[in-house]
Chains A and B, each alone.
Chain A
Amino acid sequence: MIRQGLTFVITAYRSLLIHKLRSLLSVLGIVCGVMAVMVMISTGEGAKEEVLSRIERLGLKNIYVSAKFLSQEQQKQVQRKKSYGLSLFDVDYLASLSPMITQVGAVQKVALTPVGTGIDITPNILKCTPNYSELLGLPLRSGRFITVRDSLEKRQVCVIGAVLSGRLGREGRVGGLIRIDDLLYTIVGVLKKDSREPAKSAKVTNQNFNDTIFLPLNIPHNLTKFGSSIAQYSELSSIVLEVDGREHVESAARLIHRAMEYNHQGVLDYDVIVPLELLDQALAAQKTFNLVLSVIAAVSLLVGGIGIMNIMLATVTERRREIGIRRAVGATRRDIAYQFLAESFLLTMCGGILGVASGFASVFVIETLAGWPIEITVLSMTVPFVLACVTGVFFGYYPAVQAAKMDPIKALRTV
């Protein structure tokens, strides 16, 4: 049985070799189909991977409210309506909104650079609330993060990212000093290095904090008492809210939307970003892309399959005499069917291999040219390959049956 199967494959292989060009052309459709399936799965896996890591970074239980730049037209409106961007008022308001919201943090980008460090990178400087490291899950390598006391007592301390710390050398350790503008800040903590690459096609802030300097964000003791003037003008870049569970993220987001709308009197100078929603969006976009590729793959495989069927029917006609001889030396109808099925199977299998190879190439091109994230997995190679083989058997079935049904007398009468 094994010997027979092997001989069938060898026979098929040799008969394919006789018609090299013909075999190659007939298999092109299969190659395209396999390539499309492979690209689809690889990009799908890549996108999923990226979205997941982005969301992991943002925190699945978090909701972000970030400031948005306004056009001049909108700014006029803002002045009329007295909305001043994101402020500590918003923080306070959102914190007391619902028991679902367990923590609220805020961060403010500072457009300053450290002086006299002698390094060639420009670090990001962020003023943040003490709970920021907890909200974003930033692990420390040494020292501590910014504390409430730092904020309240307006201490001049900072926490820096691992890469920046390395660049600063001896001065980059806990206890070192960094000069920003006119003030000297003492390093009290260094973050662990974040080895995750920043995502290539970012829709949200997803930078890593390897070269960031964190400063305490000054929070007044009591916002309402402190008066509106300071609170209103200390514009924040974003507010991070933590919800008590993933199941509450959606309703909390709705609440936040409404609260912000009320607070800002309908002026959209902010964005509410829900990582969970981003996941859905990304998956939806991927779905559309997948649908297009699926159609391409299906059409290619169909056309390719018909090509295989066509070539196999031609082969069967061409080899009528051979079929007659084989029947004469004892081949049953089933033997003949297997013979031709083996041939179409082998043909599409070669197509599958070629398809996976060109799939690799096109995936590589997509990755370099379009900058899409790609993830080549075992699945993204085996699924298209198996699909090709299945196509071969499916479309090879009819020609094989035709060969098997052939009357041996008629087959032998062909010269």
Chain B
Amino acid sequence: MLLEVEKVYKSYQLGRNTIPVLQGVDLVVKKGEFVSIMGTSGSGKSTLLHILGGLDTPDRGSYRLNKKDMLSLSDDERSWIRGHWLGFVFQTFDLLPEFDLVENVSLPFLYNSSDPETMRKQVENAIERVGLAHRRRHRPFELSGGEMQRVAIARALAVNPKLILADEPTGNLDSRSSRHILELFQELHRSGTAIILVSHDEKVAAVSERTLHMIDGYLQ
């Protein structure tokens, strides 16, 4: 098992009101599996993704990633896991505007102890896999939305992660670019990377092996 989530609860404090977001979520993901989680906005799917990525901690429950108890780790240890085992892809691409493509893809290595040679190889490899080798020295503003998202995927791929967490990766893209991005995810899945993809779009869910639905804080 790559990932085991058991009875995870999470609620937010909004003024005086406590808003329950996750109400006992269970999730198991195998190595190399491609899982999509569907849900309306505000259903708690992003919160779950953040917990899976070690950016957020649940109020209750347990979470093991690659046999490590994520909830007992320190902030620095979780940072290490993010930098070595995980890759994030966001809806808004989130590239650093002042850096070119290669530098953006190299970003995780800034916080990673790999040697420069490994780094260079992995970065080149990741850029090649997303098919942007010809745009290496372009800055984000010179790229289209679909290309920017591919750069973001390359950034997630560069550290050879065990799991890619994608939060609405096609949310800001037209249908053609969306299709390309989803094809890219399928390709990554075929080469053995586990993917958890969060979206509210049914078409997106169709590409995954398994689709789960997040409804009122429960995962079905």
A interface residues, Cβ below 8 angstroms from B: 3-4, 7, 11, 14-15, 17-18, 321-322, 324-335, 408-409, 412, 415
Sample of 6 more A-B contacts, CB < 8 Å, known A325-B94, A330-B112, A333-B79: A14-B98, A325-B96, A326-B107, A335-B79, A409-B55, A412-B55
Complex: chain A residue closest to B111, CB-CB: A330
Which residues of A have CB within 8 Å of B96?
322, 325
Q: Can you report 18 residue pairs joining A to B where beta carbons are below 8 Å apart?
A: A4-B111, A11-B99, A321-B94, A325-B88, A325-B90, A325-B107, A326-B107, A326-B111, A328-B82, A329-B108, A330-B79, A330-B80, A330-B82, A331-B83, A332-B75, A408-B55, A412-B50, A412-B90
A325-B94, A332-B111 known; A409+B50 contact, CB < 8 A: yes
Q: Do the beta carbons of B50 and A333 come within 8 Å of each other?
A: no
Across the A-B interface, the 3 shortest Cβ-Cβ residue pairs: A330-B83, A330-B111, A329-B108
A332 to B112, CA, bound (A): 11
How close is B78's CB to chain A, nearest CB, in angstroms?
Answer: 9
Complex: chain B residue closest to A8, CB-CB: B110
Q: Do the beta carbons of A329 and B56 come within 8 Å of each other?
A: no
Determine if B92 is an interface residue (Cβ-Cβ < 8 Å).
Answer: yes
Count of chain B residues near A, Cβ 8 A: 26
Which residues of A have CB within 8 Å of B39?
none
A333 to B99, CA, bound (A): 22
B interface residues, Cβ below 8 angstroms from A: 50, 53, 55-56, 75-76, 79-80, 82-84, 88, 90, 92, 94, 96, 98-99, 107-108, 110-112, 116, 155, 159
Which residues of B have CB within 8 Å of A328?
53, 55, 82, 88, 90
Which residues of B have CB within 8 Å of A415?
92
Q: Do the beta carbons of B108 and A330 come within 8 Å of each other?
A: yes
Q: Do the beta carbons of A329 and B98 come within 8 Å of each other?
A: no
A18 to B98, CA, bound (A): 8
A335-B111, A412-B55 known; A329+B80 contact, CB < 8 A: no
How close is B46's CB to chain A, nearest CB, in angstroms?
Answer: 9
A328 to B112, CA, bound (A): 13
Q: Do the beta carbons of B50 and A329 come within 8 Å of each other?
A: no
Q: Do the beta carbons of A329 and B99 come within 8 Å of each other?
A: no
Which residues of A have CB within 8 Å of B107?
325-326, 329
A7 to B107, CA, bound (A): 10
Q: Do the beta carbons of A332 and B92 come within 8 Å of each other?
A: no
Which residues of A have CB within 8 Å of B92?
415
Complex: chain A residue closest to B107, CB-CB: A329
A331 to B92, CA, bound (A): 20
Complex: chain B residue closest to A339, CB-CB: B110
Q: Do the beta carbons of B110 and A4 come within 8 Å of each other?
A: yes
Complex: chain A residue closest to B93, CB-CB: A325
How close is A237's CB to chain B, nearest CB, in angstroms?
Answer: 74
A328 to B55, CA, bound (A): 7
Which residues of B have CB within 8 Å of A324?
94
Q: Do the beta carbons of B90 and A330 come within 8 Å of each other?
A: no
Complex: chain A residue closest to B81, CB-CB: A330
A330 to B159, CA, bound (A): 10
A408-B55, A409-B50, A409-B56 known; A331+B94 contact, CB < 8 A: no
Q: Do the beta carbons of B83 and A329 come within 8 Å of each other?
A: yes
Q: Do the beta carbons of B75 and A333 come within 8 Å of each other?
A: yes
Which residues of B have CB within 8 Å of A15?
98
Q: Do the beta carbons of B55 and A329 come within 8 Å of each other?
A: no
Q: Do the beta carbons of B79 and A331 come within 8 Å of each other?
A: yes
Complex: chain B residue closest to A17, CB-CB: B98
A7-B110, A14-B98 known; A329+B82 contact, CB < 8 A: yes
How close is B11's CB to chain A, nearest CB, in angstroms?
Answer: 14
A14-B99, A325-B96, A409-B50 known; A331+B110 contact, CB < 8 A: yes
A321-B94, A322-B96 known; A332+B76 contact, CB < 8 A: yes
Which residues of A have CB within 8 Å of B76?
332-334
Which residues of B have CB within 8 Å of A325?
88, 90, 94, 96, 107
How close is B70's CB to chain A, nearest CB, in angstroms?
Answer: 14
A334 to B96, CA, bound (A): 20
A328 to B94, CA, bound (A): 11
Which residues of B have CB within 8 Å of A332?
75-76, 79-80, 111
A3-B116, A14-B98, A415-B92 known; A329+B111 contact, CB < 8 A: yes
Which residues of B have CB within 8 Å of A408?
55-56
How close is B98's CB to chain A, nearest CB, in angstroms?
Answer: 4
How close is A178's CB to chain B, nearest CB, in angstroms?
Answer: 79
A330 to B75, CA, bound (A): 10
Q: Do the beta carbons of B84 and A329 come within 8 Å of each other?
A: no
How close is A343's CB to chain B, nearest CB, in angstroms?
Answer: 12
A15-B98, A412-B90 known; A327+B116 contact, CB < 8 A: no
How close is B89's CB to chain A, nearest CB, in angstroms?
Answer: 10
A3 to B159, CA, bound (A): 17
Which of A11, A331, A409 meets B111, CB within 8 Å? Answer: A331
Which residues of B have CB within 8 Å of A3?
116
How close is B119's CB to chain A, nearest CB, in angstroms?
Answer: 9
